[in-house]
Structure formats: C-alpha cells, structure tokens
C-alpha cells in the first residue's frame, strides 16, 4: 500500500469518527491528506473525472488546491452544470477576461446591490471609472503616504491594549512572563476597519456602529437568511451618513498627517462636494460608495494579516529573515496573498457568446474567475504550493492596474487586475506590512499557541487555511 493510500485510510477513519461534523456537510467526500485529491474516477482516456458536488464539501473547503489543479490541467474552463456556471482556473485566461471589460464587463446585475446599494462593482466602462475616480485617489499615492503616521498611531494604540490587563485582550502568566492572545480579536479584526473608518471621515464615536454596519451588511450579501438584517444595517448607515452629509457639504472635514497638517478632505467630504452631470451626489449615492468601501476593507485585510503571521510562524527561517529586515514585510504580504489569499475570485457575466479553451460559453452565463487557482497556476509560479517569500517569479513591487508580467515575474491575482483592480490594494498593503512591522517591534519570541488552535483531521497538525482566512490565530509571546 502506498503512503498516500495509507494516509487516506487513516484520514477516512478519522473522518468517520467525526460523525457530528460530517452530518453537517452537504456531500460526504472523504477528507484527504493535504495536497491530495480524492479520486473521482477516470474517463475512457484516463482523464480524471470531476464531480461538482465537491465544491459543497468540507473536503474542498479545507483542501481546495489539488482539485483546482485537476481543473487547470484538464478542464481549464469547467462547465459546472450542478451550479449552472463556468469556472475559469488558469492565470492567463483569467487575466484576459479581467482586462476585457466589454466581453466580461460586470458582475451579474443584482448580485451585490440588494444590500450595498447601487455600487460600482456592477458598473462598467465610463460609468464605472467615473464612480471609482470619486474617491480612489484617497487610497493611493501621496494622500496615503502622508497618512502613514496616522496608520502607525492606530496600530500602536491597539497594541498598547495588549499590555493593559483591564482590556482583556491578552492573558498574562507572571511565572513565565508570557502573554497569550488571539491575534484576530486583539488586532486583525478591528485594525483595518479603524483605518478605513478614519479615511472615510467617520467620527471616532461611530466606530462601534461601523462594526455593526460592516458585520450585518457583509452577512446580508452572504445569504438570504441574513438579507433582512443586512438591509436594516444599510438603512442605519444611510441615516447616519445623512446626518453628516449636510454639515460636510458646507464645511469639509480634513484628514491630518501625524504633525496635524491637513492632507486632503476625508472621503465623505470629497463625495459631498462631487458634481456629476451638473448635480451633487445624493445621500443614497454617497451611502452606496461608502457601503462598498466599508464592505471591501475589513475581512479581506483581516484575513491577509492573520494568514501572513500563520504562514511566517510555520516557516521560522522566513520569519527570522523578516524580523531582521523590515522591508521584507512587503514580500511576505504579497507571497501570502499569492499562497493563501483571503478572497477566492470574482464572478463575471459574459456579454457575448464566447469560446475559451475550446468551451463555448453562451452570452449571459455566470463565469467564476478563480483567483485562488490563478495564484497556484504552475504555468506562472514554480512549486506553487510552497510558501516562499524569496521566490523570484512573483512581482512584489508597486501594484499596477495593468498588472505586471516581465522577466519571469508576475503579480499575484489576489487584487484582480484591469479596470476593477482593488482600489484598496495599496492601503491594505500598508495596513498589513506597517501594522505587522510595528507588532514585531513590540513583542518577541512569538510562537503559535498550538494547544489552542484548531487541528486538522489527524488531530495533531494545525488546521490548514483552506479557502479564505483562518478563523483564529492564537499566539504566545513576550513583551519586547
Ligand atoms: C487583502 C486585502 C484585499 C483583497 C485581497 C481585495 C481584493 C479585491 C478584489 C479581487 C477586487 C476586484 C473585484 C472585481 O474584479 O470584481 C476588489 C475590489 C474592490 N475592493 Fe478590495 N481587496 C482588499 C482590500 C480592500 C480594502 C482595504 C478596500 C477599501 C479600503 C477595498 C475596497 C474595494 C473596492 C471598493 C472594490 C471595487 C472596485 C471596483 O469595482 O472598481 N478592498 N478587492
């Protein structure tokens, strides 16, 4: 019996013991050793068959990459008749679709607007760029660089709380001098939201409300059961925005640098004075813009920070290198987003009948661009399952809308490319690398508190990241 078969037997045995969890999943695919796909059979030519029910399985959630590999190798445009959509899984095909704003121009109408309102995600062409340009400059370039001090200040304020026993953020053991905390609760869940809240120009008192809007609007997008609560949160956001819009129309509020100098009006003030087609934006339009930024700026960066620390701590030599060379946080952030991004991909709807990789896709089909898979495409990145911040095929410099592909280096696909490239890419990059750099200067001897972490199916190894971000990251450390 091969090692893999042996492991599989163990895995299946442990899976059957875990009957409670198994019964909650839709389809009972056996849980496989990481990196190994369950054999779904072969066709007459020896090509692996692919059962679309795998997408609904717990196995796929924890171990998606070997399945994406089957798709990339044998079904690069996979027609999933069960879910009525097409999965595009190779890097070059996805990039081609993202750049073709006419052929694959929008996400399906209505897929986000019921909760977020009329957002730019569903627009294309001039309508889209006009909307995007209203606030985009606040999240990049000089406006962002001048505000780095403010981002550092927010990070330090949160870290101060780790050493304040009354905050309940950490547990301290005086006998060993060690602290234990869950990084999400103590930092990553709130830090990106605090940064975005500040750039938008919400008063500090609105911070708690911000969490409420964020949580329920995101929940509302996720599923019908939560839609009502999502709509209520959006209405509450709109009421709040209305209360400050009139005031900001008359007197804009300014973002300040760390010396108290005005950098630029905050995003709400900017939107309040914006004129489109001779008219100011309505409160509803302003709210929709804000709702999208609120929604886009939280979970994504939270996941990137948690995944980065999780991966670095499992590769101590790379962690050591980063601790000794601050600029390497940038490379670590990009490699994390390539290896284990917090968002998996984007839906598109094709405007015309198209043929891609020999598959005819009728106009108006739902097409999933699987960014997770693009980031693991061995046609672009060597040994893609390996986490390596020193890899020389990943481009990790200035993020470009046009993407980067030159001299054997390519950008990761976690922020997309083309007209819808994430406008929060730069700010989230600053949050992830600056926030982590500050953390690393205030704590030492950090290790994953494995005893508190969820375990994989063998009951011993740490649970894999799988799709998205790990839920919790427990750390033990000493104060610097
Ligand atoms: C690691 C963190 C992040 C990741 C991985 C991420 C990923 C993405 C991706 C893949 C898209 C493209 C959507 C498409 O092609 O349809 C996108 C769009 C967007 N993101 Fe992010 N994002 C992150 C952080 C942020 C932050 C911090 C903000 C806000 C401050 C933000 C705001 C937005 C907005 C407004 C859009 C819509 C852009 C458009 O349609 O033109 N994102 N994001």
Residue 346 Cβ < 6 Å to ligand 1: yes
Residue 305 Cβ < 6 Å to ligand 1: no
Residue 350 Cβ < 6 Å to ligand 1: no
Q: Give the mean pLDDT of 153-165.
A: 95
Q: Is the pLDDT of residue 4 over 70?
A: no
Distance CA(151)–CA(192), nearest Å, equals 9
- Whole-number percent of the chain with pLDDT over 90: 55
Q: Give the mean pLDDT of 59-73.
A: 96
Q: Is residue 2 very low, low, confident or very high in pLDDT (cuts 50, 70, 90)?
A: very low
Distances (CA, A) of 338 to 228, 341, 384, 415, 450: 35, 6, 9, 10, 25
Distance CA(83)–CA(94), nearest Å, equals 20
Q: Is the pLDDT of residue 136 over 80?
A: no
Q: Radius of gyration of the chain from Cα atoms? A: 23
CA of 82 to the centre of ligand 1 (A): 28
The model's pLDDT over 82-130, given as tens digits with 9 standing for 90+, comes to 999 999 999 999 999 999 988 887 665 666 556 777 667 777 777 787 7
- Whole-number percent of the chain with pLDDT over 70: 90
Contact 264, 254 (CB under 8 A): yes
Which of 208-212, 335-339, 357-361 is the least confident region? 208-212
Q: Give the mean pLDDT of 390-399.
A: 93
CA of 310 to the centre of ligand 1 (A): 22
The pLDDT assigned to 107 comes to 64
Closest of 229, 198, 199 to residue 214, by C-alpha: 229
The pLDDT assigned to 237 comes to 86
The pLDDT assigned to 43 comes to 93
Distances (CA, A) of 79 to 85, 165, 257, 355, 385: 6, 55, 51, 12, 25
Q: Is the pLDDT of residue 22 over 50?
A: no
Q: How many CB atoms lie within 10 A of CB 424?
A: 23
Residue 414 Cβ < 6 Å to ligand 1: yes
Atom of ligand 1 nearest to the CA of 139: 30
264-268 contacts, C-beta under 8 A, 24 or more apart: 264/138, 264/143, 265/201, 266/138, 266/199, 266/200, 266/201, 267/135, 267/138, 267/199, 267/200, 267/201, 267/293, 268/200, 268/201, 268/202, 268/241, 268/244
Tell me the domain boundaries of the chain.
Answer: 64-479
Site to probe by mutation for ligand 1, drawn from 346, 424, 427, 435 as the one with most ligand atoms within 8 Å of Cβ, is 424
The pLDDT assigned to 235 comes to 87
Q: Give the mean pLDDT of 232-251.
A: 87
The model's pLDDT over 212-221, given as tens digits with 9 standing for 90+, comes to 888 788 777 6
Residues present in the chain in total: 480
The answer as to CATH 3.90.230.10 being correct for domain 64-479 is: no
The pLDDT assigned to 8 comes to 39
Q: What is the pTM of this model?
A: 0.89
CA of 295 to the centre of ligand 1 (A): 9
Residue 341 Cβ < 6 Å to ligand 1: yes
The model's pLDDT over 416-444, given as tens digits with 9 standing for 90+, comes to 999 889 989 999 999 999 999 999 999 99
Averaged confidence pLDDT in the chain: 87
Q: Whose CA is nearest to atom 15 of ligand 1?
A: 420
Q: Where are the beta strands (DSSP E) in 121-237?
A: 171-173, 178-182
Residue 423 Cβ < 6 Å to ligand 1: yes
């Amino acid at each position: 019996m091969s090692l893999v078969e042996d492991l599989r037997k163990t895995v299946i045995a442990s899976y059957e013991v875990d009957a409670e969890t198994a019964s909650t999943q839709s389809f009972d695919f056996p849980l496989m050793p990481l990196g190994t796909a369950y054999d779904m059979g072969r066709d007459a030519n020896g090509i692996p068959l692919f059962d679309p029910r795998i997408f609904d399985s717990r196995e796929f959630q924890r171990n998606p990459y070997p399945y994406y590999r089957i798709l990339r190798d044998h079904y690069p445009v996979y027609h999933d008749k069960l879910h009525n959509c097409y999965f595009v899984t190779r890097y070059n095909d996805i990039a081609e679709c993202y750049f073709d704003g006419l052929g694959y121009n929008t996400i399906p109408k209505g897929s986000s607007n019921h909760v977020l309102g009329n957002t730019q995600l569903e627009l294309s062409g001039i309508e889209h760029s006009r909307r995007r340009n209203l606030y985009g400059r606040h999240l990049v370039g000089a406006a962002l660089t001048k505000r780095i001090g403010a981002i550092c200040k927010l990070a330090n304020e949160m870290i101060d709380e780790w050493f304040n026993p009354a905050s309940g953020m950490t547990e301290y053991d005086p006998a060993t001098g060690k602290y234990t905390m869950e990084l999400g609760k103590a930092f990553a869940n709130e830090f990106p939201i605090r940064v975005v809240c500040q750039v938008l120009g919400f008063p500090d008192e609105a911070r708690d409300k911000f969490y409420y809007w964020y949580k329920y609007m995101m929940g509302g997008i996720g599923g019908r059961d939560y839609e009502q609560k999502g709509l209520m949160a959006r209405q509450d956001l709109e009421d709040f925005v209305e209360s400050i819009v009139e005031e900001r129309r008359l007197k804009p509020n300014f973002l300040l640098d760390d010396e108290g100098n005005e950098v630029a009006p905050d995003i709400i003030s900017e939107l309040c004075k914006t004129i489109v087609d001779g008219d100011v934006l309505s409160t509803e339009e302003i709210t929709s813009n804000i709702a999208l930024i609120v929604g886009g700026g939280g979970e994504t960066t939270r996941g990137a920070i948690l995944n980065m620390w999780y991966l670095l701590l499992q590769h101590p030599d790379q962690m050591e290198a980063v601790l000794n060379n601050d600029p390497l946080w940038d490379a670590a952030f990009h490699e994390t987003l390539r290896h284990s991004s917090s968002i998996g991909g984007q839906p598109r709807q094709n405007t015309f009948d198209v043929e891609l990789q020999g598959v005819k896709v009728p106009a108006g089909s739902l097409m999933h661009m699987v960014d997770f898979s693009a980031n693991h495409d061995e046609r672009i990145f060597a040994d893609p399952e390996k986490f390596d911040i020193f890899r020389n095929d990943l481009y990790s410099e200035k993020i470009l809308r046009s993407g980067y592909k030159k001299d054997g280096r390519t950008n990761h696909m976690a922020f997309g490319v083309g007209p819808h490239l994430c406008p929060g890419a730069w700010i989230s990059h600053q949050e992830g690398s600056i926030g982590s750099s500050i953390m690393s200067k205030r704590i030492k001897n950090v290790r994953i508190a494995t005893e508190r972490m969820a375990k994989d199916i063998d009951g011993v190894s740490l649970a894999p990241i799988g799709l998205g971000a790990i839920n919790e990251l427990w750390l033990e450390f000493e104060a610097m």
